[in-house]
Structure 1
Amino acid sequence: MDSIFIIEQLINGIGYGLMLFLLAAGLTLVFGVMDTMNLAHGTLFMFGAYIAATVHEASHSFLAAVLCGVLVTMLIGALLEVTLMRRLYKRNHLNQVVATFGVILLADDFVKWMWGASPIMASTPAALAGPVQLLPDLPYPSYRLLILVAGVVAALALYVVVNHTRLGMLVRAGASDRPMAELMGVRVQSVFTLVFVIGAALAGVAGALMGPLTSVQIGMGEGILIPALVVIVIGGIGSVRGSFVAAMLVGVVDTAGRAFVPPLLREVMAPALAADVGPALAGIAMYVLMAVVLCFKPGGLFPARG
């Protein structure tokens, strides 16, 4: 296990963490700021991946595929917010969980009807198919570098919107004291709708970019929703900054665990036993990280101020 392999896996972990942040940031805005549990957020990620893969196959334009994936996901998010989520804002979390879980089931059946049950293999754009020489002995896939850049740009843009714009101020005001904000003339419902659509756009970006790295298939949103929830808990519910830091930690820990733990175990135990134990230990690494953080910081690393 040389240093080049370690550096490569760390970069992979950062890229995975940035995609987790895009998904977790939308959940943080909806759950932490609007106090609404939306389990269907992973479904928006799935739609972004399917739509982008379909458009890319038809048009052979990756930029058009990403734009279409994000725009259609935003429309789906707006429709979901207007038809369902508005009726759930004042309900308890149990009602929100049950209702949005029903959306997951309906969305999975719709995808099966629309695209079939077989996974779709989204293709990497031809211009980004080759490697980039980061170091003399480290060629790195250019598409993964694109994901790194896109994740950083999205994180900076979200930070500016939440902390340095009028919209961010209105969101915090509506979340802190909705009746008072409405008396001051703030259209809180419209602000919440816009926040929900922004969260859907972030999920669409993540889905569109992750499609070429993973198989686009039914249920992929539920698979990545669990790590996104872990990110929110570690970072602190309602904290965008906490979600970013936690996503980096989870991405690196999860990737490093899957890359390093099985080979290390093969050095100290029988190969057959290491093949069984290694993936299991790697799979629980992020949950161990969450347990350790919560032992010392029960509110998460950066709990949001009320």
Structure 2
Amino acid sequence: MKKITVVAAALMLTFTSCVSKKKYAELENKNKEIQDLLNSATVKLNNCLTEKSAMSDQLDYLKKNNSDLINSSKELTVLTTKGAENLEKSLESLKEKDLKISRLQDALSKKDSVTLALVTSLKKEVGLNDPDINVNVEKGVVFISIADNLLFKSGSYEVSPGAKTVLGKVAKVINSKPDFECMVEGHTDNVPIKNTVLLDNWDLSVKRATSIVRVLQNDLGVDPKQLIPAGRSYFIPLVANDTPENRAKNRRTKIIILPKIDQFYDMIEKEMKSLSENK
């Protein structure tokens, strides 16, 4: 650019001395046009350089973005594969839970079947016509409730001779099922009792239970390993102890038949624990 200016100046000096003013003016105008073109070209060149720099930055950004997209695509492929694996594992887990639930239902169904068979057997042996004897299922457990007027005299824990007829029927069922246990519960009314032998209703209820257990063991041949005596005093009444009739209802002996189906309960417990751990 400096060379062009110098040449132009030299030409101007040369032509000033040997050309006419008219010619000089024309050359001067021509020089101005050339200078304007040169300035315009310089501006355009600078703009081009600026645009080139911007495009270079954009190209770098696009290259980086393209690289990030490629990496993201690879990660997405990995995630998709893992997702499929996790889905497969989840399906397997659901299958296992369905199997465990099915096993639980089978165990409960089998327990219900055992309970139903036991109730049928007891009702057949004990009979249904005596209002003082009740065979029922309570919270999944089979029990026989016998009014104390069939077993004991008032305030006594000695088993009456006639009681052995009823207890003999119960013993027949227990002896036919050696895998069952038998819990004998004594229940009293709330009338206080105390004498030289009995301290209170706790004593009376327990002694009545042990008296029944001894008859079942000693007189009726029940395996003592199947027998469990227990006393409940007057704390679990059937009705309010507010009339003689109601107190008579609350004085009772409850014989609970417990099938030894520990394997069912163990399985249920294990399966429930397993289901809980897999949540």
Name the one with the larger helix percent: 1
Name the one with the larger strand percent: 2
Question: What band does the TM-score fall into relative to the shorter chain?
Answer: under 0.3
TM-score of the superposition, structure 2-length normalised?
0.23
TM-score of the superposition, structure 1-length normalised?
0.22
More relative contact order in 1 or in 2 (CA 8 Å, sep 6+)?
Answer: 1
